[in-house]
Amino acid sequence: MGWVERYVTWACSRSPLAPVAFQEAAALFTLSSVIGRRIYMQDGPSIIYPNIWPMLLGQSGQAKKTTSHNFSEDILLEVAKEMRVADSASPEGLIAELSEKSSGGQCQVWTIIDEFGSVVSSMKHKEYMADMKDLLMKVYDGKPVQRRLAKVSYEMDPVYMTLLTATTESRLSQLLKPEDLEDGFFPRFLIVRGTTDGWKPKPDWEDSMEVERQVIVSDLTNLNLAYSSVITRMKFDDHAKTLYNAWCQDKYEEVRRGDFPGPISSRLEDYFEKLAMLYELSEHMKTLGHLHLIPYEQAVFVSEKMGKYAESAAALYEKLGSSKELMRLLDMLKMRSPEGIPRSELLHRSHLPVRRFDEDVETLRQSKLIVGKEEEYRPGLIRTVYYASNGNV
C-alpha cells in the first residue's frame, strides 16, 4: 500500500462523510508540498515539477471541504511548518513573504486558502489585487519573480509553490465570466468535484487511527530527509510513453471537435506527468535513485485518475459558461445589441431544448453577461427581451 493510499484510508476513517476524491487530492498536495523540486520530468526544454494546485468543489456544509484540507494542514505544520506561506492579502505581501522564504537558490512553499471565491472577488474588485493573477501564474510556472516595492527591490529564485483551496460551483458562477476561463489562470487548478461515491463507515478504533497518523507523518519526515541531497529524474518507460502520447492525442481530438475546453487541455497534460511522479513516489518513497522509469501499469492507473479530473473540469467549464451553446447565445445578443432579442426568437434560433436553453440563459444572467427585461409588446401582453450587458438597457 502506497503512502497516498494509506493517507486516504486514514483520512476517510477520520471523516467518512468527506468524498474520497477530496482526501486523495489532499494527500497528493501534502506529498507534493514536501518533495518539492527533488523529483522532475524533462521532455525537451520543458521541465515539469510536481507542484499541484487542487481546488475542491462541493456544497457548503455538506462536502467537508474544510475537513479535508485541515487534515493536510495539520500534517504539514508538523513536517514542513517552515515552508508555510500565509493567505496573503495582497501581491506585495506575498512577494515579501516569498522573498523571506527564498534561500540557497530555491524558494519552496505551500499554502492553503479556505475560500477561493474570496481571492477571485478581491482580484476583480480591489485595485491593489489587480496584479495577483499574473503573480500567481508566474509562481505556478516556477519563474523567477522580480519586483520593486517602495524603496525595496525583491528578486527571488524560481518558486516552487503548492496550493490547496476550495469553493462552491455557485460561488464561481457568480464571480467568473466566460472570458476568465480563457486567460490561463483558472486552468492551472486541478478541479476536484466531490461526490458521495466511496464514502466509508467510521470504524471504532480511535487509537489505531492515531497510530496510523504517526506512521504517515514519520514516513513523510523520513522522505524529506532521504531526498535532502538526492534529485530524481523520472521518465515514462517506452510503453508508458506510448500510452501518455495517445492520451494527449485523444484530448487534442476532443478539443478539435469542441467536446472539451481547450484552455485546460494542455494543463491536464502537465498534471498527468505531475500525478504520475507523485503516485510513483508514493509507491517507492526512498528507493527511486537518480533516474527512475515510470512503468506502463502506473501510467494506466494515472490515466484513469485523470479521466475523473477531466470530467470535473469539463462539467465546471460548461456550467460556468464556456460551452459552445453559451457563446453562441451571447454572440447572437451582441449582434443585435442594443435592441435585444425576445425570448421566443432567441429560443428558436438557438435550436436548444427549452430546459437547456433556460439553464444557459440563467448562467449568462448570473455572470452578468446578459440582462433580461420585461416589455409590453401588445396591449395586456408581456414578453421578456434579452440584451447583451454592453447594450443600452
pLDDT in tens, 125-140: 777 777 888 889 989 9
What integer pLDDT is reported at residue 391 of this predicted model?
43
Cell of 208: 489505531
pLDDT beyond 50 at 251: yes
* CB hemisphere CA count around 1 (13 angstroms): 11
What integer pLDDT is reported at residue 196 of this predicted model?
59
Give the least confident one: 193-202, 349-358, 376-385.
193-202
Q: What are phi and psi of 129, to 5 degrees?
A: -95, 5
* Strand boundaries in 4-96, DSSP class E: 39-43, 46-48, 54-57
* Sheet strand arrangement including 341-342: 341-342, 381-388, 370-378
Of all residues in the chain, what percent carry a pLDDT higher than 70?
90
Q: What is the CATH number of the domain that holds 159?
A: 3.40.50.300
Q: What is the CATH number of the domain that holds 356?
A: 1.10.10.10
Residue 66 lies in a domain: yes
Euclidean distance between CA atoms 372 and 382, whole angstroms:
13
Quick: pLDDT tens for 171-202: 887 777 766 777 788 889 999 988 755 455 55
What integer pLDDT is reported at residue 321 of this predicted model?
59
376 lies in the same domain as 286: no
Euclidean distance between CA atoms 385 and 137, whole angstroms:
40
Residue 393 lies in a domain: no
Report residue 217's pLDDT band, with 50, 70 and 90 as the boundaries.
very high
146 lies in the same domain as 106: yes
278 lies in the same domain as 342: no
Query: Of 188, 191, 192, whose CA–CA distance to 267 is shortest?
Result: 188
Report CA 179 to chain centroid distance, whole Å.
17
Spell out a b/e string for 349-378, using b for 16 or more CB atoms within 10 Å of the CB, else e: ebebeeeebebbbebbebbebbbeeeeeee
Q: Give the chain's mean pLDDT.
A: 85
How far lies 141's CA from each of 49, 111, 137, 162, 302, in Å?
A: 9, 16, 6, 11, 22
Question: Which one-letter amino acid corresponds to residue 336?
Answer: R
182 lies in the same domain as 165: yes
Q: What are phi and psi of 15, to 5 degrees?
A: -140, 80
Residue 108 lies in a domain: yes
220 lies in the same domain as 362: no
Domain range holding 355?
A: 324-388
222 lies in the same domain as 345: no
pLDDT (mean) for 131-158:
79
pLDDT beyond 90 at 286: no
Q: What are phi and psi of 64, to 5 degrees?
A: 60, 40
More confident residue, 210 or 180: 210
335 lies in the same domain as 293: no
341 lies in the same domain as 249: no
Q: What is the pTM of this model?
A: 0.80
Quick: pLDDT tens for 75-128: 999 999 999 998 666 888 888 888 888 877 778 999 999 888 888 888 877 777
Last residue of a domain, one of 272, 294, 320: 320
Question: Which one-letter amino acid corresponds to residue 50?
Answer: P
What integer pLDDT is reported at residue 390 of this predicted model?
59
Q: Give the Cα-Cα-Cα angle 286, 292, 293 (nearest 5 degrees).
A: 135
pLDDT beyond 50 at 392: no
Last residue of a domain, one of 266, 292, 320: 320
Of all residues in the chain, what percent carry a pLDDT higher than 90?
39
What integer pLDDT is reported at residue 206 of this predicted model?
61
What integer pLDDT is reported at residue 149 of this predicted model?
64
96 lies in the same domain as 227: yes
